[in-house]
Structure 1
């Protein structure tokens, strides 16, 4: 059986083999998981040192951070000869939205209502654009030009459409709850509209990737602080990538043996086991203009149902 440190080396190797290397996406993971809870600002040099063992060199960090700044995720500030980057206002809102689903696996009870958006009044180009935005929010296709969401309210859907400037040209409806909430035809429709079979494959891939590490940690939990940081970063990065595809459907509409539940449990178990050693590594290696980063805020310890 592989040791925990060998499992981490395999995870790094797996990440480095991908082409193209998505350095910007990994930096977003690092900010969301480690930097945002500590105030959100960090020296570019310490960011480079942290990511170098994962295969992201200083030049790639610089170009990726520059791109994230242009895309309004980050904002930069020079103090002397050093550059410090923090989350921008829009970036912070996007981080909160993107990472909230990663750390909180349980859904609120489903009311049985659906929010429906009808795109029939839009021309082809605008329909494509609105469809893309709504899919990102977890909407699925019930029929041509008709999208549906089980958890987002009508008011929330309208707010999202207003943000992209299309609220006045689409029809937004909300259904009443009907019994039974999840009939067989509805469950089959959900399976098709959100392509749950493909999503289950992505979750299975995540489980296959990280189960060896969990097994090794149970056998000998001696992983060093840097390896804990690397493992935690890649764990959240890969889980977040699958989560972005997940429409967060209520339990009532999901298959009984749903791989997403197993993936969340595995992610939670590994995170709880290694996060403290990773935090000690971050304490020593992340800098702001005033010195070391502050300790994580109280909300950090609410992740995954509570960190010990």
Structure 2
């Protein structure tokens, strides 16, 4: 059996072997997981120091941060010769949407209703754009030009369509609950519309990747603070990637043996075990213009149902 340290080395190797190496996405993970809870602004050089052991050198960090700034994820300011970066307004909104799923899931009880969006009155190009944006939000295609979601409120769908200037030409309805809430035909439709089999495969790969680390930790192996930081960053990075494709469907509509439940439990267990070491590493290596980063906000300790 591998030690916990060997497991982290294996995770680093796996990340480095991917092509293309998505350094910008890893930096977004770093901001969401570690920097936002501590004020949100850090010196660019300290990001390079943190990510170099994962295979992201200083040049690549600078290139990725420049690109993220152009894409309105980040915003920068100079103090003397140093540059400091934080999430921009749009970047923070995107962060809140994505990371809320990661740390808090969706425990809301389902009332059996559905939000339905009809796009048949839109021109072909507009319909494709609206479909893309709604699917990113978690909607599934029930038929040509018809999208649906059991949890999203009508106002959320309308908000997307208004941003696209398409609200006048789309139809958005909300259906009432029926009995039973999830008949067989509906569950089969859900499986097809959201391609749950492919999503389950992604969760299975996550489980295969991180179970050895949890096994080592649960058998008493420990990690140094740097390895704890690396493991936590890669854990959230990989889990976030799957979560972004998860439509957050109610339990009633999911298969009985759903790997997403196991993946969430594993992610929570590892995070709770290693977060303190990672925080100590961040204390020593992240800098603001005023000095070390402030302590995490109280909301940080509410992640995954509460951190000890």
TM > 0.5: yes
Q: Which position in structure 2 is the counterpart of 1:257?
A: 257
Shift of 1:307: 0.4
Aligned counterparts of 2:83 and 2:165: Cα–Cα separation in 1:
35
Correspondence 1:101-112 to 2 at 5 A? 101-112=101-112
Kept in 1: contact 2:3–2:221 (CA 8 A): no
Structure 1 residue runs of 5 or longer lacking an equivalent are none
Q: Deviations over 1:117-174 (max 9, x none)?
A: 0110111111111111000000001011100011011122112221232212211011
Q: Which position in structure 2 is the counterpart of 1:122?
A: 122
Instruction: Say how many residue pairs are matched.
Output: 308
Q: Which position in structure 2 is the counterpart of 1:8?
A: 8
Answering whether residue 191 of structure 2 is matched by residue 199 of structure 1, we say no
Q: Which position in structure 2 is the counterpart of 1:165?
A: 165
Q: Which position in structure 1 is the counterpart of 2:302?
A: 302
Shift of 1:106: 4.0
Aligned counterparts of 1:90 and 1:45: Cα–Cα separation in 2:
24
Aligned counterparts of 2:167 and 2:274: Cα–Cα separation in 1:
45
Kept in 1: contact 2:106–2:248 (CA 8 A): no
Shift of 1:107: 2.3
**Residue 83 of structure 1 aligns to a residue in which SS?**
strand
Q: Which position in structure 1 is the counterpart of 2:41?
A: 41
Aligned counterparts of 1:151 and 1:22: Cα–Cα separation in 2:
31
Aligned counterparts of 1:33 and 1:165: Cα–Cα separation in 2:
33
**Residue 83 of structure 2 aligns to a residue in which SS?**
strand
Structure 2 residue runs of 5 or longer lacking an equivalent are none
TM-score w.r.t. length of structure 1: 0.99
Shift of 1:289: 0.3
Aligned counterparts of 2:164 and 2:94: Cα–Cα separation in 1:
15
Answering whether residue 237 of structure 2 is matched by residue 237 of structure 1, we say yes
Shift of 1:255: 0.6
**Residue 148 of structure 2 aligns to a residue in which SS?**
strand
Shift of 1:221: 3.1
Q: Deviations over 1:29-61 (max 9, x none)?
A: 000000000011000000000000000010110
Shift of 1:110: 0.3
Correspondence 1:63-74 to 2 at 5 A? 63-74=63-74
Kept in 2: contact 1:33–1:236 (CA 8 A): yes
**Residue 205 of structure 1 aligns to a residue in which SS?**
helix
Kept in 2: contact 1:4–1:220 (CA 8 A): no
Shift of 1:220: 2.5
Q: Which position in structure 2 is the counterpart of 1:210?
A: 210
Kept in 2: contact 1:232–1:274 (CA 8 A): yes
**Residue 172 of structure 1 aligns to a residue in which SS?**
strand
Answering whether residue 15 of structure 2 is matched by residue 21 of structure 1, we say no
**Residue 179 of structure 1 aligns to a residue in which SS?**
coil
The CA RMSD measured in Å over matched residues stands at 0.7
Q: Deviations over 1:161-198 (max 9, x none)?
A: 21232212211011111100000000000001001001
- Name segments (4+ residues, structure 1) moved above 2 Å: none
Q: Which position in structure 2 is the counterpart of 1:185?
A: 185
Shift of 1:16: 0.2
Answering whether residue 147 of structure 2 is matched by residue 131 of structure 1, we say no
Aligned counterparts of 1:167 and 1:221: Cα–Cα separation in 2:
55
Kept in 1: contact 2:137–2:247 (CA 8 A): yes
Shift of 1:222: 1.8
Kept in 2: contact 1:239–1:267 (CA 8 A): yes
Q: Which position in structure 1 is the counterpart of 2:84?
A: 84
Q: Which position in structure 1 is the counterpart of 2:148?
A: 148
TM-score w.r.t. length of structure 2: 0.99
